[in-house]
Structure 1
Amino acid sequence: MDPVIIVGAGPVGLTLALALARQEVPSVVLDEGPGKDEQRLARTVVLREDTAALMERLTGVPLAEVGMRWAGWRSMRRRQVMREVTFGDAGEGGPDGAEAAPPVEFAPLHIAQHVLTNALRAALAHERLVKIAVDSRLDAIEQEPSGVSAHTRGPKGTWWRGSYLVGCDGPRSTVRKLQDIRFPGRTAVERYAVAALRAELPWPGRALLHRMPPWRTSGPSGGEITGRPLPDGVWRLDWLLPPGKDLVTPELLVARIRETLAGWTDGPTPSYELLDTGVHTVHHRLARRWRVGRVFIAGDAAHLLGALGTHGLDEGLRDADNLAWKLALAWHHGPHEALLDSYQTERRAVVAARLRNADQVLPLLRGSGSLRSYVPGTARGHDALLTDGHLGRGPLGAPGTYADSPLTPRYLEDPAPVHTAPGAPVTDVQVTAEDGSFVRLRDRLGRGALLVVLIAPGTGVWERKHWVTAGIMPRLAAAVTALPHPAELLVAESYPGAAAHTVLLVRPDGHLVTALNGVRPADLYAAAEATLGGTAKAPEEATAGTR
């Protein structure tokens, strides 16, 4: 078959190309630029745990070595510390007490966007299945039942033939416009002045949200500043600007830097080195359609979500992860229309929910009216909502689930209770692979295969040869072999909330399909069939050969 055409060589497009290559699907990436990225320390992204794991799996680069995993987070109002989080510590809290802290691996990863892009480009340089065509600007798309053609102009203008085409070409997406896809929403919801600088601050490695700093009395809620550390003593600082379109002059920005640093260090302005500046304008937009025949859109071409300044790209990378395994299955095994349609259904619903939450909650948190009639709780509770959003939790930041996906099995009785909801990303636990090696569960994702995980306490202390032919293993192995799609059988000592002999079915992108009580071949087959876009049969209707 013809390769997949990917329009746009930003992080989302490059991630999709690598994810397809890992599943033996060739692609052509149309890059309208020269194949290099401008170094901008004021353009950064915060990756949640599973998204960072995806990037490390694809690039082979330990991102903590080129980005910054935060040691903690501090929320302040005026001069009071409202909440403090220390990742991997015994607890978190403020003056009112402590609560259990997330494990250290849940610490958000903060990385400059050009560093992430360079890591993706370096990995693609060794990838035989990916061709990057630089100086290639798209200007026409033609679809046929058997494929799609794209025309590029420029020094290397030509026609490209592909099986599918994915527009990862940003907010002004040519692909979206050529397919006449509406992109409604709101423009200039909020604006931030941004500066990247090198300085010594009182809390090295810890991010900060400071609301109503005492040296500022104007602006929404008296002002809001976010400080996020990067490697080598670099910080990204964001100042929420008052409504309006007042020009952010260099003098204004320097004045804000100086007063902020002086306020945080309780003295004269400490020495600093200004490295980069910018103005980040938040837009909230959501494309009406994400698929038109063999053409798809992803990332900023499909949605603009920048409520907290650094999370929009994280959602775009999730788009690529969701779409890659579905395109790969269709590329290898023929069209699976319901499966391909589920990309729009799942991803658009998740992003729409985040946009809706941001549009409803943020104006109230930052307004000056009767907040409590709309957002229950004290000022501390309001700050907690913002903090959770920055940390990838709560209504403003938690990764979405696909519980209402058309791929969700509908007829399974008595599912096993575990701490992961159906459709949510699985917890990364140690598993035993089929060759007897110990690996992380997330290391087995992204290969196009379904994962079947048996929870079997005690297996970790015995050699695999002693238990692989004992108990329920032979029956489960036979059921996995009979599934309608290749699947890998893994064994885990434990999983949060799971009893012994629980069987988990996991999608190639790491989202839980279902958890079963014991080995139930018919239910496992029905769940796998539903995951591939087929109709989930009731257990008694499942293929008899799996019984």
Structure 2
Amino acid sequence: MDPVIVVGAGPVGLAMALALARHEVPSIVLDQGSGVCPEGPRSTVIGTETAAFLERLGYPRAASDAARWERLSVWRRRQEVLQLDLADHPVLHLPQHRLQRGLRDAATATALVQLVPHARVEEIDQDRDGVGVRSRHSQDGSDTWWRASHLVGCDGARSSVRKLLGIRFPGRPAVDRHAIATVRVDLPFAGEARLHREPPWRGDREASARPLPDGLWRLDWRLPPSRPAADAPADPHATWPGLVTGDTLVTRVKSTLTGWCGQLPRYELLAAADHTAQHRLAARFRSGRCFLAGDAAHLHGALGMQNLVDGLRDVDNLAWRLACAWHLHSGGPQPGGSLLDGSLLDGYEAERRGAVGARLRAVDQAMPLLRPLRGWAHTRRSLLTGSFRKHAPMLTDGLLGTGRFGGAPAYPAAPSGVPTQRGAGRGTALTESLPATAPGVLVPDLPVLTTDGTPDRLYARLGSTFLLLLVAPGTTVWSAERWLGAGLMPRLAEVAAALPVPAEVLVTEEYPGAGAHTVLLVRPDGHLVGVTQGARAEDLQELAARARGGPVPLAGAER
């Protein structure tokens, strides 16, 4: 079976290769660049879900390479409008170059991942059995043909893969503009991220400070709205000359630091850039055996939204689907394989494109409230009437990775078949209490026990198989020898082995809202498929078949 080709070796491309390797699927990563990860001002905010995902990929340093925020405060002029204590809601701020280096180290150490630098994709040729890719070496000009089962374009906003596939990339070219700087400085609010609207010093509409590791801070300033030139590239990281260079940037840094500290502290300016937040959504995320992920598929970033985190969610959603399809055909074509591939793989576009589209619509609705466009007089009246205080919590969603702007999405029913009913298949009713998690929603991280009695966390078990999670109060009171062969465990193990997807059985003491003997079927990306009461083989078979995209077994059919 041919490997999967991943185009682009940024964080999303490397994560895709590592996620496939976790499913024992080989990949070739074609990277137009040299593989060097230079330091820069770009960074990303990640929560518990994303940190656990990165750790599963083989990057356990994500938490130690990041700064943990203790508080987030929102200010207007000299008044604090909102303060959030983040002690119980871990938020990590990670420099992107550290993330990319950590993922590259993990990919280099993985035999299933082949990294190919200086390889620009020039041609894509699909047929019913696979994908042919021609790359050109940027140094000697030589061409190489590669053969793959599938191709994933993770090659950024100016994606060659997207252009070669003829997929449109419509959207808004300039939603928010920011100047960004990385500064080494001691600020009087250590451990606190601060968003300052209409600061008391003159010249800035909005400034923010977010702590980074090693005594560094990322400073952001929102710039006046402006449109790029008609021929400006669709690249959110492209630099516009004159915006944050020379005296303008130094003046901005000095006035901001003086405003926060009372006097100008000693500081060291390490890096700077300007950033234009574009809102774009590819017309399709799939074309035959080719897929788009990350910046190649979507761009957003207004109101602090984290496009990179959504790119990693693309990876988590697509990798298990590709692995199912790849392993299905690794022994040769099988009856019904094309039907399964179509439904299973179409689910990626339905879910991820729908989730990102919902985010973009949410921002479009919120922008008039948070970014008044009728001039300074209207903005001043809006702030003075209290609307800013009312809407300030919305400003924190993107920065913290929560809510409509940043939280994990809930996937509705899609071709991949997340059932819309909480009950089991064929209308079976649950009279017992239902879990608080609805189908399609990301499950919470919980302490679990494996079938050999080993304690672990639920998120640590995600990624490679489906999970059958049994709610069994009192389990930790008994030794594993007592409960492994008792109650539902033997039957549940038999059911797991017979499912049409690889599945692991886990046990938890309690699950929010769920009664004893509730069994939850969880996808490899952590989203709930459905629920049964007890080890109901037919119901779990149906749920697994729907999630995999295959035909649903008929009642009474031979299994």
TM-score (norm 1): 0.91
Q: Is the 8 A contact 2:69 2:92 kept in 1?
A: yes
SS at match of 1:172: coil
Change (3 A) 1:256 1:412: farther
Q: CA deviation at 1:454?
A: 0.4
Of residues 137, 146, 150, the one that matches 1:160 is: 146
- Is residue 341 from structure 1 mapped to residue 346 from structure 2 by the alignment? yes
Q: CA deviation at 1:379?
A: 2.2
What is the rounded CA distance, in whole Å, between the counterparts of 1:489 and 1:278 in structure 2?
Answer: 48
The AA in structure 1 aligned to 2:190 is P
Q: Which residue number corresponds to residue 389 of structure 1? A: 398
Of residues 98, 113, 116, the one that matches 1:130 is: 113
What is the rounded CA distance, in whole Å, between the counterparts of 1:86 and 1:315 in structure 2?
Answer: 25
Percent sequence identity over matched residues?
Answer: 51
Q: CA deviation at 1:482?
A: 2.2
Q: Which residue number corresponds to residue 80 of structure 1? A: 79
Q: CA deviation at 1:308?
A: 3.5
Superposition pairs for residues 305-320 of structure 1, below 5 Å? 305-309=300-304, 311-320=306-315
The AA in structure 1 aligned to 2:136 is R
Q: Which residue number corresponds to residue 304 of structure 1? A: 299
SS at match of 1:63: coil
Q: CA deviation at 1:310?
A: 5.8
Please list every run of 5 or more consecutive structure 1 residues that lacks an aligned counterpart in the other structure: 89-102
Superposition pairs for residues 84-95 of structure 1, below 5 Å? 84-88=83-87
Q: Which residue number corresponds to residue 92 of structure 1? A: none
Q: Which residue number corresponds to residue 239 of structure 1? A: 221
Superposition pairs for residues 403-414 of structure 1, below 5 Å? 403-406=412-415, 407-409=417-419, 411-414=426-429
- Is residue 6 from structure 1 mapped to residue 6 from structure 2 by the alignment? yes
Q: Which residue number corresponds to residue 237 of structure 2? A: none
What is the rounded CA distance, in whole Å, between the counterparts of 1:339 and 1:144 in structure 2?
Answer: 19
Write out per-residue CA displacement over residues 85-105 of structure 1, whole angstroms, 9 at most, x where no aligned residue.
2223xxxxxxxxxxxxxx2xx
Q: Which residue number corresponds to residue 387 of structure 2? A: 378
- Is residue 468 from structure 1 mapped to residue 484 from structure 2 by the alignment? yes
Write out per-residue CA displacement over residues 291-319 of structure 1, whole angstroms, 9 at most, x where no aligned residue.
11111111110001111346010001111
Which runs of 4 or more aligned residues in structure 1 lie more than 3 Å from their structure 2 counterparts after TM superposition?
A: 368-373, 410-416, 542-545
Q: CA deviation at 1:127?
A: 0.8
- Is residue 190 from structure 1 mapped to residue 190 from structure 2 by the alignment? no
Write out per-residue CA displacement over residues 157-210 of structure 1, whole angstroms, 9 at most, x where no aligned residue.
210111111111111111100110010001011100111001111111111111
Q: Is the 8 A contact 1:525 1:542 kept in 2?
A: no
Q: Which residue number corresponds to residue 522 of structure 2? A: 506
Q: Is the 8 A contact 2:69 2:90 kept in 1?
A: yes
Write out per-residue CA displacement over residues 378-402 of structure 1, whole angstroms, 9 at most, x where no aligned residue.
3222111111231122222222111
Q: CA deviation at 1:377?
A: 7.8
Q: Is the 8 A contact 1:472 1:519 kept in 2?
A: yes
Return 79-88 or 412-421, whichever deviates more: 412-421
How many pairs were matched up? 518
Superposition pairs for residues 51-450 of structure 1, below 5 Å? 51-88=50-87, 103=88, 106-154=89-137, 155=140, 156-216=142-202, 223-244=205-226, 247-248=242-243, 249-265=245-261, 267-309=262-304, 311-334=306-329, 335=337, 336-367=341-372, 378-406=387-415, 407-409=417-419, 411-414=426-429, 417-447=434-464, 449-450=465-466
What is the rounded CA distance, in whole Å, between the counterparts of 2:146 and 2:406 in structure 1?
Answer: 39
Q: Which residue number corresponds to residue 93 of structure 1? A: none
Q: Is the 8 A contact 2:207 2:222 kept in 1?
A: yes
Q: CA deviation at 1:543?
A: 4.4
Q: Is the 8 A contact 2:369 2:391 kept in 1?
A: no
TM-score (norm 2): 0.89
Q: Is the 8 A contact 2:151 2:291 kept in 1?
A: yes
What is the rounded CA distance, in whole Å, between the counterparts of 2:409 and 2:556 in structure 1?
Answer: 30
Q: Is the 8 A contact 1:74 1:84 kept in 2?
A: yes
The AA in structure 2 aligned to 1:541 is A
The AA in structure 1 aligned to 2:367 is L
The AA in structure 2 aligned to 1:414 is A
SS at match of 1:121: helix
Q: CA deviation at 1:60?
A: 3.7
SS at match of 2:291: strand
Q: Which residue number corresponds to residue 91 of structure 1? A: none
What is the rounded CA distance, in whole Å, between the counterparts of 1:490 and 1:272 in structure 2?
Answer: 51
The AA in structure 2 aligned to 1:12 is V
Q: Which residue number corresponds to residue 529 of structure 1? A: 545
Q: Which residue number corresponds to residue 43 of structure 1? A: 42
Write out per-residue CA displacement over residues 230-261 of structure 1, whole angstroms, 9 at most, x where no aligned residue.
01110001101111269414212211111111
Please list every run of 5 or more consecutive structure 2 residues that lacks an aligned counterpart in the other structure: 228-239, 330-336, 421-425
What is the rounded CA distance, in whole Å, between the counterparts of 2:343 and 2:181 in structure 1?
Answer: 45
Write out per-residue CA displacement over residues 86-141 of structure 1, whole angstroms, 9 at most, x where no aligned residue.
223xxxxxxxxxxxxxx2xx322111111001001111111111111111111001
What is the rounded CA distance, in whole Å, between the counterparts of 1:185 and 1:179 in structure 2?
Answer: 18
What is the rounded CA distance, in whole Å, between the counterparts of 1:137 and 1:402 in structure 2?
Answer: 34
Q: Is the 8 A contact 2:305 2:405 kept in 1?
A: no
The AA in structure 1 aligned to 2:146 is W
What is the rounded CA distance, in whole Å, between the counterparts of 1:185 and 1:469 in structure 2?
Answer: 57
Of residues 489, 495, 500, the one that matches 1:479 is: 495
The AA in structure 2 aligned to 1:268 is Q
What is the rounded CA distance, in whole Å, between the counterparts of 2:75 and 2:512 in structure 1?
Answer: 33
Q: Is the 8 A contact 2:156 2:294 kept in 1?
A: yes
The AA in structure 2 aligned to 1:328 is A
Q: CA deviation at 1:368?
A: 5.8
